[in-house]
Structure 1
Amino acid sequence: MRAIFVQFKCQPGKAYQVAENLVETVEELSEVFSTSGQFDLIAKFYLEPERDTGHFVTERLQTLDGVADTFTTVAFKAFR
């Protein structure tokens, strides 16, 4: 499994709706947090190695109601 982190800028007043929608409909979601600053939410997803990150983000996440913009970071290695 490959981890990616996606930050979401939501339409005004829609951050909690977007977070709930992610939890209810996106099985690849690990966790989602509300944040302050330039983005409203940050979420961690686990994708299968053969899954195309670009298609997942643009077709599955950016199309969610209330999402205005996203910023994606691909993680290479987890340290403990």
Structure 2
Amino acid sequence: MKPFFVMIKCELGKAYEVANDIADAEIASEIYSTAGDYDLLVKFYLEDGQDVGKFMNEKLHSIPHIRDTRTIITFKAF
């Protein structure tokens, strides 16, 4: 399984709702609130060979109140 992280910018006042929707969808490993340019940092895992872009479009971008995302692809844990 390959981990990757997504920083999510939400509509104002909607970060908790977005976090709850992601948790309810059971698609994330971990969800954190953050300070700064983005509201949430979410860790996902995909099976080897699964398409990150397709996952993002079908599973994450369909959640209401997400304004922007930044995906961080990971290679190796130390």
TM range (shorter): over 0.9
Deviation at 1:8, TM superposition (A): 0.4
> SS at the partner of 1:64?
coil
TM-score for the superposition, normalised by structure 1? 0.92
Which whole-Å CA distance do the structure 1 matches of 2:26 and 2:73 have between them?
18
The 2-side partners of 1:22 and 1:65 are apart by: 10
Secondary structure in 2 matching 1:54:
helix
In the other structure, the counterpart of 1:3 is 3
Q: For the residues of structure 2 that align with 1:26 and 1:52, how far apart are their CA atoms? A: 18
Q: Which residue of 2 aligns with 1:74?
A: 73
Query: How much identity, in percent, do the aligned residues show?
Result: 45
Is 2:27 aligned against 1:23?
A: no
Amino acid at match of 2:38: F
The AA in structure 2 aligned to 1:70 is T
1:59, distance to aligned residue in structure 2 (A): 2.1
The answer to whether the 8 Å contact 1:62/1:69 transfers is no
SS of residue matched to 2:38: coil
Structure 2 gaps, min length 5: none
The 4+ residue runs of structure 1 with deviation greater than 2 A are: none
Tell me, which stretches of 5 or more residues in structure 1 are unaligned? Answer: none
Aligned residue-pair number: 78
TM-score normalised by structure 2 residue count: 0.94
